[in-house]
Chain A
Amino acid sequence: MKTAKAQVKMFETIAILVVFFFLLGIGFMFYARIHSASTRAEQREQSVLKAVEIAQIASHLPELEYTFNNDPKGYIDFYKIDGANKTINENTAYYFTLFGNSRITINQTYPEEKSWVIYDLPRGESSFLTPVPTLIYDPVGNRKNLGIIYVRTYLQE
């Protein structure tokens, strides 16, 4: 009688331990999933911040920006675009430190549509686009044309 009671108690303890470890296992699995998802979200957030930073750098790049009497005016000089494109392509290693894995395109949308790719170093499939509206100034014709800088940033996988 006493042995049977002890056995029941032992089974009870074992059952409690099994349930405890089962719940512990579920808890660990859940924590691991949350941790990996939050790490991915953090990486993506960092990439977004980097994209905004790249867009800011690109729109105020001295190689592109129109200046008058050494005063930067905040818009792109139409006649600097081809020169900047050549400089950037000849010094990719230097510009990689500024732009990383991204593609920067300048589109003129008004009056005529034109497009220039000034930097292109893709990596992987996952990317997102940051559009930055700007003006493209033609100092010869004294015209400000509407343009948009597209920064496509590739996510660090």
Chain B
Amino acid sequence: MEIFSDLFFGLSVATSSPMLLATLLGVLLGLAIGVLPAMGPPAALAILLPIVVSFEPTVAVAGLAGVYYGAMYGGAVTSILLGIPGESAAMMTTLDGYPMAKNGEAGRALGIATFASFVGGFISILLFTAIAAPFAEFALRFGPIEMTALMVMTLIFSTSLGGEDRAKGFAALGLGLWLGTVGLDIVSGSPRFNFGTFELLEGIEFTVIAIGMYGVGEILASVNETAPKVARARYTLRALLPRISDMYKTWKDLIVGSVIGFVVGVLPGAGATAATIFSYSFSKKISRHPENFGKGAPEGIASPESANNSASYAAMIPLFTLGIPGSGTTAIMLGGLLMLGLQPGPLLFEQNPDFIWPVIGTFYTGNLMLVVLTILLTPILASLVFIPAAYLFPIVLGIVVYGVFSVNYSFFDLGMAMGFGLLGYLFRKFSYPSVPVLLGLVLGPILEQNVRRSLIMSNGDIGIFASSTISVVFLLLSASLLLLPMFKWAKARLKKAGV
């Protein structure tokens, strides 16, 4: 049981005072960055990097990792209270978190998010401790072919989120898929839909679209609800407090989210946001009351929040076990490790156990700190919903301005965010759903790139998708997902005809 002695050693170092301090600073900064709209973990890490390079490596990495998973907790806050995703992986949390807060249950929503984050994180850390290395090897089997099949399945799963008007849902999905193609095409190297600007060459930042369509769009759509002295929710103590009963009511979704988050999070180029989409759609599929999703269902918060926290730890697995960054955020962490003079590679666990185990130890302490911090902050944060819109909206617009500008230091992005705000407003007025736009935007590029990679590898032979067991399983599942409703419908028709 070497793993227990390693872990014990890691925990004992992680609870020493400099490590605790570094973890605390990291998670606090992560929480704060997660709360600020637009600024996600990459931006936070980028700011922190030049500062921490002078620290001891273990302390520095404890802080950097703390920022990453701390942001996953913080991201839920603005999603729930303002309907603005604090960072991209918190996008799905707005779907049920914001309606619940508007119903006067902000504390309850924050409570579910915190608990889900804790459970998702904890399950993921346990799995990380136990099976990181073999799991990283398993993830290597996911190449372009397998990713294509996985994305097809996720996309089919998520069409259930299109809203009531199917046609409008698919139109919105098409828009999202198109938005994902803007910028340099990585296969041909030629620009697409950049309209002659070089700002669009690297595509449109996800947060710019998400903040525009959700945050700004929501504000613009409720400009008439700004009579002074009218609070957005009635004053009740109940609105501020989490509910214990929600914790066990959502146990199924917590497990779904944690597992999906862990599996998808470890895959190269997939990311936490894709994991939350998959997890949310899955929870909706297995729910007995799918009609409540999007209207403030506790499961709709628990599922994506446990997924994004779980994914944030899983995303660090390829970095620590193979020395390969699997996402933008972990790429910056790798840059940090290099600056610190550490070269993570397949031998990191063997050669630097006195680095890796204390860092894993801080995952445990950091997760505990976060759950305590967020629970203490919940009543204070939740009281935000008592502020009348007339005072809150100007401040939120100000935060949007600063947050969006700070992503790329660009006024162009800010203009785009306002443009998407206007589009989000029109979508709300004409009852087009905004969710499919973001689904298309997240899943589209992953799907497109992997389809084209696969076809380059096979020189255009579509048969390549049948050459991998994993891919065949996913594709069969996708087909059954498509055919099952048709089958049910046909059966119902036959029954009707028979009677």
The yes or no verdict on A and B being binding partners is no
